[in-house]
Structure 1
Amino acid sequence: MTDQEEEALNLIQSHRQGVLQSELWKLLDIDSRKCSRIVKRLIDAGLIERIEFRSDGIKTYLLRAKKRAIDPSVILAGTEILPCIGCDQECTPEECPQLLDWIYQLALEEYQE
């Protein structure tokens, strides 16, 4: 993946609702033609999806990052699954009561072994 493709993907991933393709090329400071080629490569790689969108009567595309499968080793600690997986709350890890309880439970299990 080129630096510009990686930068485009990072920009798209950082916008939860997606980024309009007509805005992406401006954010990347490249021409629209080059942006289209980058978008095509990201779509072909299965990293983003492109949804037709009308803005002020003009057709453009909304670009959204595809969710990738998670490596199970990242979400498991022993046999316990990370509580954040199914969570839809907007919180910070430092202040999340479910996450803190999970970490505390893991520490207890480790201490008892």
Structure 2
Amino acid sequence: MESENGILQCEMWKRLGLSSREGSRLAQRLEEKGEIERDRVLYEGRWTYKLNSKRRHVSLASIKDSPCLRCDDIDRCFEGGERSPISCEYLTRWIMENSGERRRG
């Protein structure tokens, strides 16, 4: 049982070829490192954990209209460079338009 919302810990053990003890230790270490969250769930009459990644997937769709992707100066654009994203009026305008904020005059 795997989904966008995680994988059952018992399924993880099977897929990785681990014993339940090894799988449990691995899940605990990942939780301690802040990589996953473990939620206790009842599955087929037994208690197990559902493992959910704390990493969020970023969609490239969110930046597809960025002016940087079609800028002729992209190779010279960096902090402290000839061009800079910090002072780029095109990037600033795009961020403001896409964040829903309006510049206050």
Q: Calculate the TM-score normalised by the size of structure 2.
A: 0.55
* Fraction of identical pairs, as percent: 36
Aligned to 2:16: 28
Q: Please, which of 61, 84, 88 is the counterpart of residue 62 of structure 2?
A: 84
> What is the CA RMSD across the aligned residues, in angstroms?
2.9
Which one scores higher on RCO, CA 8 angstroms, separation ≥ 6?
1
Cα distance in 2 for partners of 1:83, 1:46 equals 27
Q: Alpha-carbon deviations, 1:32-71, whole Å to 9, x = none?
A: 1011111111000000000011112211110010136x9x
Any idea what SS the aligned residue of 2:62 has? Answer: coil
Query: Could you say what secondary structure the match of 1:37 adopts?
Result: helix
Match of 1:41 in 2: 29
| Number of the residue aligned with 1:11 | none
Q: After the TM superposition, which segments of 4 or more aligned residues of structure 1 sit over 6 Å from their partners?
A: none
Find the counterpart in structure 2 of residue 62 from structure 1: 50
Aligned letter for 2:62?
A: C
TM-score, with length taken from structure 1: 0.51
* SS across alignment from 2:18: coil
2:34 maps to amino acid: G
Aligned-partner SS, 1:51: strand
- Rg larger in structure: 2
**When the two structures are aligned, how many residues end up with a matched partner?**
70
The alignment partner of 2:13 has SS state of: helix
Q: Work out the CA distance in 2 between the residues paired with 1:29 and 1:41.
A: 18
Where structure 1 has 5 or more consecutive residues not aligned to the other structure, the ranges are: 1-13, 71-81, 86-98
